[in-house]
Every structure is written in C-alpha cells, then in structure tokens.
Amino acid sequence: MEHTTVKSLRGLTQHFSPQEFFRESARLACQLVQADGAALILRQDNVLQYTFFEGLPEAYQELSKHSFSVHAGTAGAALIRGEPVYVPDYPHSPYAMPEFVAAGLRASLALPLLGPDNALGVLAVSWFDTPAPDRLPEDQWDYLRLLSDMLAGILYRAQLETRLESLATRDMLTNLPNRRAVPDRLAGAMARADRHDSLMAVLFLDLDGFKPINDRCGHVVGDQTLKAVAESLRSAVRKGDTVARYAGDEFLVVLEEARYMAEIEAIIERLMHAIRRDVRQDDLVLPLSASIGVTVYPFDEAAPEALIHHADLAMYQAKKAGGNTWRLFAGESVSEQEHHPLLRELGEAVDRKEFRLFWQPIVDLRTRQISGAEALLRWQHPQKGLLAPAAFLEVLENSPLIFPVGRWVLETALTQAEQWHRSGRLWDVHINLAAAQLKKCDFAKNIERHLSQFPRLHRSAIWLEIVERVALDDVAAVAATIQACRALGIHFTLDDFGMGAAAIQYLAELECSGLKIDRSLITPMQDSTKHHTMVRTLIDMANSLSIHVVAEGIEDAETADHLCTLGVTHAQGYFFSRPVPAEDLETVLSNHRKPHEKP
C-alpha cells in the first residue's frame, strides 16, 4: 500500500495543468480514505466558491452556483485552524449546513490549501453512499497532508501566473488594458457580434495637443492628463465595452452590442465631448481634443489586426481634417491611396526588390578606425534614382509594408554581419527598428528565429536601434521586449537621444546597452555653452551606468577631437564617411584619417 501511494504521488508531478492535477489529486485522496468524491473550494476575499468536482453527485455539484462565507462549514473551520478537519457524521455535526445535508452529504474531510501568505482554498473530500470510518487511519494523514501541500503549490503557481499575465496586459499608468490585451478582447468581441447578429466598432483615438502639454508642462502633468482622459473614456462607454491604452497618447475603444450606426455615432460624440478640455498650469492654458478613426464589423470583415489598422487609417483622415473630429473607414485601397500616394509604388518596390542597404561606419575616436557600421535603408527608384529615407520612410512605417521590408532589412544586415565576422572583422552592426516591428507581441521570437539562421554570427556585436519616442510610448512593454531579446545575446541602443523628453532614468528602466546622442545636441556644442554642458553631463551619466555612447552627426575634425576629450569613444558622421555600399567600407577603412590628422 505504501509503495503504491508513493508511486501515485510521484505520478502527480507529471500533470502540469491545475485541472489535471486536481482531478488526479481528488482521485488519490478518495482512494486513500475510501471516499466517494472531492471538490476544490477556492477562497476569494471572504467568500468560498466551489470550482472543480470529481466523483460527486449532481445535487452536490449544483451548489457550485452558490458562494459561502469563509467561516462556514468544515471548509471554513479548516481555513481558520490551518489544519485538516474530519467530520464522520456531517448531518449531526456543528458544521452542518442545510443545503449540504439535503444534497446527501454524510461525512466530510476538509484539507486546507495553504499558500506562502494566506489560505488559498480547501480540498473537500466527501462521503455520500460509502460508509465513512469513525476516524481516519494515522498512516494516511501524512499522505493527505503531502497531497494538500502539492495541490496548494500548483494552485499558488497558477494564481501567480494569472496575476503576472494580468500585469503584462495592463497599462501601469492608467490601469487600462494595454495593447497586448487588445487582440484577445477584439477576437472575443467579433465572436459575440457574430453570435448576436450585432455591430461592433473599433475606435482608434489619438489626442490632439498632447505633445505641447507634455513638452511645456512636463511629464507629471502629461501623466495626469493621460490618467484623466482614461477615466473620462471609461465613464463615457457602456459596461461591456473595452477601453485600452494602445501607446503613448493613443487609445483604442471597442464598442459592442450595437444595433444601429446611430448608437455608435452617439457614443463617439460622447467620447469626443469627454476628452475635450483645457489643461492649465499657472497662466498656461493648452487645449486637448481627439482625432478618432472608426471601423465597424461586420461591414468591415477584416481580421483583428487589420481592423485596428483600418481604424488607424481613418484616424489619420481625421487628423488631416484638422483634428477634433472623427472619420469612418471607407475602404483600405481608397483611404490609403488618398492619404499616402506613395503606397502603391512602395508595394511595387517590395515586389521588384528595389530596396538597398547602405552602411555608415561607426569610428573609434581613439584610433580613428572603423569599429562598426549602421545599416541604412535606400530605395533604388526606377525613375528617380537612389532615394534617401526622408522621401519614403514615414509612409512606409505607417503601412503594413513595413513588416516585409523590416524582415528584409534584418535578414540582409545579419547576412552582411556574419560575412564580416567570418572574415575576422568583428564590427558592431547597428540595425534600425520601426515602431510597428517592436510592438508585435512575437517580436522576440522572430528575432530568435532570425539569429538561429546565422550560427557564425557574433551576437554580442548586434545592436538593434529604437528611437526615443517609440521607447517612451510604453516603457514597460518595450522594457520587457528588450529584456527578452537581450537574453538572446544582442544589444539595444536608444537612437536620436536628445530629440525628445527622455530622461536617463528611462535608460535604466529600458535596460538599453547604448545610446546615440543626436546631432541636434552635437552640432551647436562648439558655439553653445548650454549644449556643451548638456552633452558632457549626458556622457558622464551614461558612463556611470556603463551605457555605450555613440555621437551622431560629426562633420569636422574639431568636433571629433572635442568629443574625444569629453570621454566619447565612438562616433559617426559625414566627417568620417557618408553611407556607402558594404563593399566600399574597405575603401573607407584604408583611407581613414589618423587621430589629429588634418582633413
């Protein structure tokens, strides 16, 4: 018997889901004490709620519809005492509850499930038809306690995972669901719309005037404003609707169970009114409103991600109309072509493989030798020649085409990096990311898949660059993505640092390994004491945090020398080289100026 019981307990460890573990635990508990069945009762605040049943009559299972006081019955007694309670004659015991007696319960054993902080619930073992013993054999109590401890451990882990999942899908500032929660919410809303033959609307909201509020009044007022807007949106929608903070000053609303477009329009107007306000600080008064894009399912029968994209496109139409208004999505082909005439050409460029990668060297200021290179996108246009990103990148990054182009950039850059590394040139390779790429929930897995294709690549030499404004849209989500990618052995660097309102504290939160000081700080440094002080302070703080610094936009030897004296070890700019094809970097290397040599 002892050997069989130990073997059964060991067998429990092969069941990883809480449901499977409970069922096997219940069967083993009933086997140990010759009981008829068992139930899992969970504690929720001061209430006990039945959750799972095994081998119990239907009349007893009906009790799952009710909740009971945490002090009631044998379960309540076991929780209060923190130890098992066995009652061989339940109907005549002081713990008897009429509804359980009526269900035919003759004897009850309550095993408390104790977590690290409090009691999680009770495993209730029950006798209905089988005669219950006057007392349980002593040799069974150790097994029962071990069984309840194992079940408590599984239950605690499941509850912890649920809490962690909730944190991962909730925006910490506004306490709204975040963008990671949106796909599931949207898929559920679409299913309900199909089931109930109703309308479901997706609203993409972008705040008009938020940037001046954030820049002129500071992040504290900006955060307060976002929280106030979130609360206003929550109050303006109905109970079954969803309000989520999508990114930065963007919100997404899912309206369900609408019968007519007039209902949706009325709620949109209510939302517009709820957001519209003046933000005041001292004598400063700044207006705030919203541009809203709307698409309605099933009129728009796209997939969840496409519905969001369509609402986003409609939002841009509202922005184009001057803001403080809303627009209904009118079809992707028309809407996108109206807003971005380049889109059709960009699509053809993807098909015809017209994109190219050029490389701008990153130079070690101490030796004036190349230490790395940044991959920069170019478009070899059939009529207009070689186009720089300024001619097309904004349009590209705001369309679905960014995903195939982004994959091509990553694959091409990693291929080139591996070639350099195999030839003995262990240069750092910097690759720019678009916001849409970084925000995909499977981004880290995609990076891992790409890296696995290049076994001879030195991963520690790969730097993925994100711009400051993207990083600050959702610091917690971006930090989680960076952490997952850093576990793969690669680095992240914050690009264009100094163009926005980021602080060094965000670098620590994001766990970026590097930053690039934007040319807007570097260029005026020679003639501006203020800019010189800002750059020096930034370098000192970055060095104290072991953050790798690269200065951008170096256009003369004097600036390069001055940065070197300030402690900057790496830089890039036209003084060293314009972006060139990969094969021309060899020429740049061989012709490179030595330290302090005049150009």
Q: Residue 78 sits in a domain of what CATH number?
A: 3.30.450.40
Q: Is 444 a member of any domain?
A: yes
Do 407 and 515 fall into the same domain?
yes
pLDDT at 160 over 60: no
Task: Tell which wins on pLDDT, 38 or 274.
Answer: 274
**What is the model's pLDDT at position 593?**
47
Task: Please name the residue that has the structure tokens 């260029």.
Answer: 523
**What is the model's pLDDT at position 284?**
85
**What is the model's pLDDT at position 2?**
45
* C-alpha–C-alpha distance, residues 111 and 113, integer Å: 7
Average pLDDT, whole number, for the chain?
Answer: 81
What's the total number of domains in the chain?
3
Question: How confident is residue 200, by pLDDT bands cut at 50, 70 and 90?
Answer: very high
**What is the model's pLDDT at position 179?**
85
Stretch among 48-57, 279-288, 343-352, 509-518 having the lowest mean pLDDT: 48-57
Do 195 and 280 fall into the same domain?
yes
pLDDT digits (tens, 9 = 90+) for 268-302: 999 999 999 999 888 888 999 999 999 999 888 88
* C-alpha–C-alpha distance, residues 504 and 491, integer Å: 17
Residue 152 CB: number of other CB atoms within 10 A? 20
Question: How confident is residue 63, by pLDDT bands cut at 50, 70 and 90?
Answer: low
Do 315 and 403 fall into the same domain?
no
**What is the model's pLDDT at position 293?**
94
Helices (H) and strands (E) in the chain, counts: 24, 21
pLDDT digits (tens, 9 = 90+) for 543-564: 877 889 999 989 888 999 989 9
Mean pLDDT over 417-440 rounds to: 90
Question: How confident is residue 361, by pLDDT bands cut at 50, 70 and 90?
Answer: very high
Do 445 and 569 fall into the same domain?
yes
Are 531 and 525 spatial neighbours (Cβ–Cβ below 8 Å)? yes
Task: Tell which wins on pLDDT, 150 or 332.
Answer: 150
Mean pLDDT over 78-92 rounds to: 82
Q: Are strands 242-247 and 250-258 parallel, antiparallel or unpaired?
A: antiparallel
Mean pLDDT over 37-54 rounds to: 72
Mean pLDDT over 131-152 rounds to: 74
Do 221 and 252 fall into the same domain?
yes
Mean pLDDT over 20-33 rounds to: 73
Do 547 and 450 fall into the same domain?
yes
Beta-strand runs (E) in 382-499: 385-387, 428-432, 462-467, 491-497
Q: Is 578 a member of any domain?
A: yes
**What is the model's pLDDT at position 244?**
94
* C-alpha–C-alpha distance, residues 190 and 209, integer Å: 32
Q: Is 174 a member of any domain?
A: no
| Full residue range of the structural domain in which residue 156 is found | 2-167
Q: Is 429 a member of any domain?
A: yes
Do 161 and 204 fall into the same domain?
no
**What is the model's pLDDT at position 342?**
78
Ramachandran quadrant class, 179 (left: phi over 0; alpha: psi -120 to 50; beta: rest): alpha
CATH code assigned at 412: 3.20.20.450
**What is the model's pLDDT at position 599?**
37
Take residue 355 and report the two structure tokens written for it.
């994109």
pLDDT digits (tens, 9 = 90+) for 370-425: 999 999 999 999 998 999 888 888 788 877 788 889 999 999 999 999 999 999 99
Do 284 and 407 fall into the same domain?
no
Mean pLDDT over 432-453 rounds to: 86
Length of the chain: 599
Q: Is 240 exposed, middle or buried (0-12, 13-18, 19+ CB in 10 A)?
A: exposed
pTM attached to this predicted model: 0.48
**What is the model's pLDDT at position 469?**
63
pLDDT at 53 over 80: no
* C-alpha–C-alpha distance, residues 535 and 541, integer Å: 10
Do 12 and 125 fall into the same domain?
yes
Q: Is 334 exposed, middle or buried (0-12, 13-18, 19+ CB in 10 A)?
A: exposed
Q: Is 305 a member of any domain?
A: yes
Q: Which long-range contacts does 108-111 make (Cβ < 8 Å, 24+ apart)?
A: 108/73, 108/74, 109/33, 109/35, 109/74, 109/84, 109/85, 109/136, 109/144, 110/73, 110/74, 110/75, 110/77, 110/78, 110/84, 110/85, 110/86, 111/29, 111/78, 111/84, 111/144, 111/145, 111/147, 111/148
CATH code assigned at 194: 3.30.70.270
Q: Please, what sign has the CA dihedral across residues 79, 84, 90, 95? A: negative
Mean pLDDT over 472-476 rounds to: 67
Q: How far is CA 438 from CA 355, 550, 551, in A?
A: 21, 22, 24
Task: Please name the residue that has the structure tokens 């207009």.
Answer: 384
Q: Which long-range contacts does 277-286 make (Cβ < 8 Å, 24+ apart)?
A: 277/228, 279/213, 279/217, 279/221, 279/225, 281/216, 281/217, 281/221, 284/216, 284/217, 286/209, 286/212, 286/213, 286/216, 286/217
DSSP letter assigned to residue 594: P
Task: Please name the residue that has the structure tokens 């690549």.
Answer: 457
Are 52 and 22 spatial neighbours (Cβ–Cβ below 8 Å)? yes
Task: Please name the residue that has the structure tokens 């705001």.
Answer: 398
**What is the model's pLDDT at position 336?**
44
Do 334 and 351 fall into the same domain?
no
Do 502 and 370 fall into the same domain?
yes
Take residue 525 and report the two structure tokens written for it.
């440094």
**What is the model's pLDDT at position 421?**
95
Q: Is 599 a member of any domain?
A: no
Q: Is 6 a member of any domain?
A: yes
Q: Would you state the torsion angle of the CA atoms of residues 312, 314, 317, 319, taken in this order, to the nearest 10 degrees?
A: -50
Question: How confident is residue 190, by pLDDT bands cut at 50, 70 and 90?
Answer: very high
Stretch among 100-114, 143-157, 222-236, 574-588 having the lowest mean pLDDT: 143-157
Question: How confident is residue 468, by pLDDT bands cut at 50, 70 and 90?
Answer: low
Name the β-bridge partners of 375. 359, 431
Question: How confident is residue 36, by pLDDT bands cut at 50, 70 and 90?
Answer: confident
CA–centroid distance for 275 within its chain? 25
Across 249-278, b (16+ Cβ under 10 Å) vs e yields bbbbbbbbebeeeebbeebbeebbebbebe
Q: Is 172 a member of any domain?
A: no
Do 485 and 398 fall into the same domain?
yes
Q: 300, 317, 339: which is the final residue of a domain?
A: 339
**In this prediction, what percent of the chain has a pLDDT beyond 70?**
82
